[in-house]
């Protein structure tokens, strides 16, 4: 039979001794379907030069080893003319029965004296299958094959709760519409945060036109979405039943890899319930890595937190990736505010909780799933477009880092270049790479502090990607000599300047990168004609993936690792930004600042039209893949000194454009580890100064804030300083205020750990001069109104944030703040 099919989830299983790939997905008509198929597993052996290939092959073919209850043996060996890192190689393609045998066989073959190298030994079988059969996750395929009946499956010991099971003969990519999955969001509430320690009190599930909360905490007049059960065991069973009824393609949580699913599993074990959510009735499995992920057969478990944290966070304004912050920014909705600490305490003590409180708790739980569901809908274009670009399964892509995505985009496209992939680095190799010192990166121009008028900002569009393409920078094109090569000078790997050469013949990685950029150009054009979330997501995916290649080259875990490439890219970056500065000044403009790929300049009485004309001239001289463009014109801008020393501070400036919109970089206003009062005040005075061109009203404003601070009129919440705990408490060498507070929280039994945001307020000390700030830091809850140390906030928050700005206007610190002594004198 023939069907049209969209693969969503992938796994591999042994059926009658043979490794098979199972693709779970939907037919075009929306039926749930499992397509079973396979491909021949293999890896590569590269022989040393001058070996007797015939004898070598015979030796390889004889490999047979009892391993894990079965014989690992070589099925076939074929000689192929391949390429490896751009060089032609004669390689042996070693076919085996089962992908698991590769580990055994490659180790034996490695010992043979004829073996130079083994390759593609670490490819996942699903990835191998996707590459070999040209399957594209989330896209429509024509599948021709044999339908397997229930009884046929049972004889093979398979249970699959889907509408249709097909053993494929062939699978072919088709053009098809966008696929819209059935998403089901969920969220649990437990009495203790530590996994398995407490009980699961509630679970909520939300899908299209579906909302449900399951709980064993009863209360009267419950809304219709709430379903009461007897106990935790029934809760878990009801949860399972709901998923089975809803039949989602994806089960979506927020931090569910790290919390909800492991918790459910722990409690299911405790209650002797199987957490068998898989379509093959298998239990949820946990894939151990640095961060564990939870997998359900046939249903893609998506932990939205991971996707947001890894992929989406760069485009967010939000300073945190909490569900509340992200939902607020992306869908304009927030969590319900509930005192979780209080509720969990009451549940633990088995107190009778007020009905109204329980009701609110249930709605809180439901709201979390609603937010997760809406976020999942909103982010689906990003997840699915990235999946389609990279060709890896949705499960992997939704948890992937950019390095993984870049690498897989490359490996999934090697076939057309006849390339064999390098291996993933070994543990030792990684350790060695980590030892490497830093190479020279980008250039940053030191600005002259001051207030400037009529400013333009120019930048290179995608500087590093365009350099990689223009200079063909890749480990495969890096060559020893200067023959037919592009030279890159002044590459500094840490000690001395060197020159590297890259072949003129385009290599596969720059070709693939160019392809990403070209696709993006097309997408951008389409977007101009008609906006669509899918195109916008594709644009974002193509852009971020292109930008990640440079960092990938210098990443110690990369297959295509090359510091030489990374350092060559930055060297060229420095060359072009210097060149741009030089040309801009030569044309009569005045460059005032620059960082990596862009510059700020004063028009120097020249017109905007002249600036644009100048850009056109510059572009004529640039390589065709590079472009220098206008970001915006600005009415005014301020550059300040460093707080220590008179020189201009880099990465710290504020500009205001013609429409009055500010662009603030590096100032305390944009740093989350300064208190709200400081941030709001600095933002305000920067606005005043940039709009008015003078600091009179800003000075008044600042003095007023100081007065309010001293008269204790500032709210504690505006004085709380937030700092993230970035390692576990014991690991700190230096105990700063936030670490001291974290310890305090731990003693109080409050949840703290790596990643926690620690909030503290500084209170008045006991008068000892040598008292450390950490000794005066308290949790905001512990500080009563007006209980803060006003002088600390003036000296350590307000003054540091305004001092350098007022210095631009020749206003000294003494004019901003009169010392406490002076004030007291004046009071008399």
Partner DNA sequence: GCGCAAATGATACC
Partner DNA sequence: ACCGGTATCATTTGCGC
* Cα separation, 614 vs 153, whole angstroms: 71
**Segment contacting DNA (CB under 7 A): 363-371, 472-480, 645-653, 698-706?**
645-653
Question: Cβ-count burial of 55 within 10 angstroms (0-12 exposed, 13-18 middle, 19+ buried)?
Answer: exposed
**Segment contacting DNA (CB under 7 A): 1-9, 191-199, 475-483, 660-668?**
660-668
How many CB atoms are closer than 10 A to CB 536?
A: 15
Backbone angles phi, psi at 74, to 5 degrees: -90, 130
Please report how close the Cβ of residue 440 comes to DNA at its closest, in angstroms.
Answer: 4
Does residue 671 interact with DNA by CB under 7 A?
yes
How many CB atoms are closer than 10 A to CB 367?
A: 21
| Beta carbon nearer to DNA, 522 or 643 | 643
Please report how close the Cβ of residue 649 comes to DNA at its closest, in angstroms.
Answer: 4
**Cβ atoms of 491 and 542 closer than 8 Å:** no
**Cβ atoms of 238 and 273 closer than 8 Å:** no
What sign has the CA pseudo-torsion 433, 428, 412, 89?
positive
| Beta carbon nearer to DNA, 234 or 775 | 775
**Alpha helix segments (H runs only) across 412-532:** 427-435, 463-470, 508-529
Does residue 800 interact with DNA by CB under 7 A?
yes
Please report how close the Cβ of residue 652 comes to DNA at its closest, in angstroms.
Answer: 6
x/- map, 395-424, DNA, by CB under 7 A: ------xxxx--------------------
How many CB atoms are closer than 10 A to CB 339?
A: 12
Does residue 566 interact with DNA by CB under 7 A?
yes
| Beta carbon nearer to DNA, 145 or 447 | 447
Return the bridge partners of 211, or none: 206
- How many Å from the N-terminal Cα to the C-terminal Cα in the chain? 98
* Cα separation, 42 vs 94, whole angstroms: 5
Does residue 666 interact with DNA by CB under 7 A?
yes
Tokens of 648: 């201009």
Please report how close the Cβ of residue 444 comes to DNA at its closest, in angstroms.
Answer: 4
Please report how close the Cβ of residue 738 comes to DNA at its closest, in angstroms.
Answer: 6
Instruction: Give the max Cα distance, the chain.
Output: 104
* Cα separation, 693 vs 453, whole angstroms: 9
Q: Which of 135, 190, 554, 689 binds DNA (CB under 7 A)?
A: 554
| Beta carbon nearer to DNA, 159 or 754 | 754
Does residue 509 interact with DNA by CB under 7 A?
no
Q: Which of 725, 761, 798, 805 binds DNA (CB under 7 A)?
A: 725
DSSP-derived pairing of the beta strands 497-503 and 777-778: unpaired
Please report how close the Cβ of residue 777 comes to DNA at its closest, in angstroms.
Answer: 8
Q: Which of 319, 355, 490, 632 binds DNA (CB under 7 A)?
A: 319
DSSP-derived pairing of the beta strands 183-190 and 250-253: parallel
Please report how close the Cβ of residue 581 comes to DNA at its closest, in angstroms.
Answer: 14
The residue with tokens 């969590």 is: 335
- Applying the rule CB under 7 A, the residues between 731 and 760 that interact with DNA are 731-738
Q: Which of 156, 244, 489, 772 binds DNA (CB under 7 A)?
A: 772
Q: Which of 353, 773, 779, 808 binds DNA (CB under 7 A)?
A: 773
Does residue 552 interact with DNA by CB under 7 A?
yes
Q: Which of 505, 672, 708, 823 binds DNA (CB under 7 A)?
A: 672
Q: Is 556 helix (H, G, I), strand (E, B) or coil?
A: coil
Q: By CB under 7 A, how many residues form the interface with DNA?
A: 70
Please report how close the Cβ of residue 566 comes to DNA at its closest, in angstroms.
Answer: 6
Does residue 570 interact with DNA by CB under 7 A?
yes
The residue with tokens 């995608």 is: 462
**Cβ atoms of 187 and 204 closer than 8 Å:** yes
Count how many Cα atoms sit within 13 Å of the Cα of residue 74 in the half-sphere of its side chain: 21
- Applying the rule CB under 7 A, the residues between 358 and 387 that interact with DNA are none
628: which residues sit within 8 A by CB, 6+ positions away? Answer: 458, 459, 460, 461, 580, 615, 618, 619, 622
**Segment contacting DNA (CB under 7 A): 103-111, 436-444, 607-615, 621-629?**
436-444
Please report how close the Cβ of residue 428 comes to DNA at its closest, in angstroms.
Answer: 12
* Cα separation, 4 vs 175, whole angstroms: 11
- Applying the rule CB under 7 A, the residues between 458 and 497 that interact with DNA are 459
Does residue 11 interact with DNA by CB under 7 A?
no
Q: Which of 123, 774, 790, 805 binds DNA (CB under 7 A)?
A: 774
Single out the residue of 320, 318, 204 nearest to residue 253, CA to CA: 204
The residue with tokens 């059935």 is: 182
Q: Which of 439, 501, 614, 634 binds DNA (CB under 7 A)?
A: 439
**Cβ atoms of 183 and 250 closer than 8 Å:** yes
Please report how close the Cβ of residue 824 comes to DNA at its closest, in angstroms.
Answer: 23
**Segment contacting DNA (CB under 7 A): 495-503, 605-613, 669-677, 820-828?**
669-677
**Cβ atoms of 570 and 440 closer than 8 Å:** yes
**Segment contacting DNA (CB under 7 A): 25-33, 72-80, 189-197, 438-446?**
438-446
**Cβ atoms of 214 and 229 closer than 8 Å:** yes
**Segment contacting DNA (CB under 7 A): 39-47, 205-213, 326-334, 718-726?**
718-726
Tokens of 394: 């949705």
Q: Which of 255, 796, 808, 818 binds DNA (CB under 7 A)?
A: 796
The residue with tokens 């130079």 is: 116
| Beta carbon nearer to DNA, 481 or 770 | 770
Does residue 650 interact with DNA by CB under 7 A?
yes
**Which residues of the chain form contacts with DNA (CB under 7 A)?**
289-291, 310, 314, 319, 401-404, 430, 438-442, 444, 459, 547-548, 550-552, 554-557, 566, 570, 595-598, 642-644, 647, 649-652, 664-666, 670-673, 722-727, 731-738, 770, 772-775, 796, 800, 804
């Amino acid at each position: 039979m023939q069907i049209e099919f969209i693969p969503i989830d992938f796994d591999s299983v042994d059926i009658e001794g043979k490794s098979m790939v199972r693709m779970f997905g939907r037919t075009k008509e929306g039926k749930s379907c499992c397509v079973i198929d396979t491909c021949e597993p293999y890896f590569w052996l590269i022989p040393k030069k001058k070996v007797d290939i015939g004898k070598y092959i015979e030796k390889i073919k004889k490999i047979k080893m009892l391993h894990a209850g079965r014989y690992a043996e070589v099925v076939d060996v074929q000689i192929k003319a391949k390429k490896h890192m751009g060089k032609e190689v004669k390689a042996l393609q070693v076919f085996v029965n089962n992908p698991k045998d590769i580990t055994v066989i490659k180790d034996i073959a490695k010992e043979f004296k004829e073996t130079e190298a083994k390759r593609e030994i670490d490819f996942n079988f699903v990835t191998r299958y996707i590459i070999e059969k040209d399957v594209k996750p989330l896209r429509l395929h024509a599948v021709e094959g044999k339908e397997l009946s229930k009884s046929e499956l049972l004889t093979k010991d398979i249970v699959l709760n889907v509408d249709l099971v097909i053993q494929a003969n062939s699978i072919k990519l088709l053009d098809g519409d966008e696929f819209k999955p059935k998403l089901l969001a969920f969220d649990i509430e437990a009495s203790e945060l530590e996994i398995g320690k407490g009980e699961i009190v509630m679970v909520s599930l939300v899908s299209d036109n579906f909302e449900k909360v399951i709980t064993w905490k009863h209360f009267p007049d419950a809304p219709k979405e709430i379903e009461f059960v007897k106990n935790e065991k029934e809760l878990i069973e009801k949860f399972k039943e709901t998923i089975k009824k809803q039949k989602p393609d994806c089960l979506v949580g927020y931090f569910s890899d790290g919390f909800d699913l492991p918790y459910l599993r722990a409690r299911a074990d405790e209650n002797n319930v199987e957490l068998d959510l898989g379509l093959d009735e298998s239990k949820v499995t946990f894939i151990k890595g640095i961060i564990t992920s939870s997998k359900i057969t046939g249903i893609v478990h998506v932990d939205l937190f991971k996707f947001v944290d890894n992929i989406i966070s760069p485009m967010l304004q939000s300073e945190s990736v909490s569900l509340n912050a992200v939902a607020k920014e992306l869908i304009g909705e927030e969590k319900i505010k509930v005192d979780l600490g209080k509720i969990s305490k009451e549940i633990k003590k088995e107190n009778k909780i007020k009905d109204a409180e329980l009701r609110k708790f249930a709605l809180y739980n439901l709201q979390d799933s609603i937010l997760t569901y809406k976020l999942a809908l909103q982010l689906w274009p990003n997840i699915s477009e990235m999946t389609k670009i990279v060709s890896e399964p949705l499960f992997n892509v939704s948890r992937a880092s950019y390095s993984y995505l870049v690498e897989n985009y490359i490996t999934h496209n090697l076939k057309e270049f006849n390339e064999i992939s390098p291996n993933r680095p070994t543990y030792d190799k990684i350790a060695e790479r980590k030892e490497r010192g830093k190479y020279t990166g980008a250039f940053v121009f030191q600005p002259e502090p001051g207030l400037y008028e009529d400013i333009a900002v120019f930048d290179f569009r995608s500087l590093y990607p365009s350099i990689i393409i223009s200079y063909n920078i890749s480990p495969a094109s890096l060559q020893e000599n200067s023959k037919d090569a592009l030279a890159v000078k002044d590459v500094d790997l840490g000690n001395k300047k060197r020159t590297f050469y890259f072949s003129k013949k385009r290599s596969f990685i720059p070709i693939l990168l160019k392809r990403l950029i070209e696709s993006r150009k097309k997408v951008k054009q389409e977007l101009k004609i008609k906006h669509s979330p899918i195109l916008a997501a594709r644009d974002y995916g193509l852009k971020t993936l292109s930008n990640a290649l440079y960092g990938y080259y210098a990443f110690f875990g990369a297959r295509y690792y090359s510091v030489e490439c990374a350092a060559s890219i930055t060297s060229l970056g420095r060359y072009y930004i210097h060149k741009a500065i030089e040309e801009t000044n030569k044309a009569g403009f005045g460059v005032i600042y620059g960082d990596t790929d862009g510059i700020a300049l004063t028009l120097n009485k020249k017109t905007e039209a002249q600036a644009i004309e100048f850009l056109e001239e510059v572009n004529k001289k640039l390589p065709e893949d590079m472009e220098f463009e206008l970001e915006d014109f600005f009415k005014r801008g301020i550059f300040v000194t460093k707080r220590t020393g008179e020189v201009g501070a880099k990465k710290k400036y504020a500009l205001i454009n013609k429409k009055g919109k500010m662009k603030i970089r590096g100032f305390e206003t944009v740093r989350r580890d300064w208190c709200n009062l400081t941030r709001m005040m600095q933002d305000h005075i920067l606005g005043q100064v940039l709009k008015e061109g003078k600091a009179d009203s800003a000075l008044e404003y600042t003095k007023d804030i100081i007065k309010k601070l001293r008269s204790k009129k500032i709210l504690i919440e505006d004085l709380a300083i937030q700092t993230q705990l970035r390692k576990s408490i014991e690991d700190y060498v230096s105990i700063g205020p936030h670490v001291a507070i974290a310890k305090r929280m731990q003693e109080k039994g409050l949840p703290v750990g790596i990643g926690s945001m620690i909030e503290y307020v500084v209170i008045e000390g006991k008068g000892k001069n040598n008292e450390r700030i950490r000794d005066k830091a308290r949790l905001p809850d512990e500080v009563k109104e007006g209980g803060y140390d006003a002088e600390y906030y003036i000296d350590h928050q307000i003054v540091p944030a305004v001092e350098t700005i007022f210095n631009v206007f020749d206003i000294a610190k003494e004019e901003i703040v009169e010392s406490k002594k002076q004030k007291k004198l004046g009071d008399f």
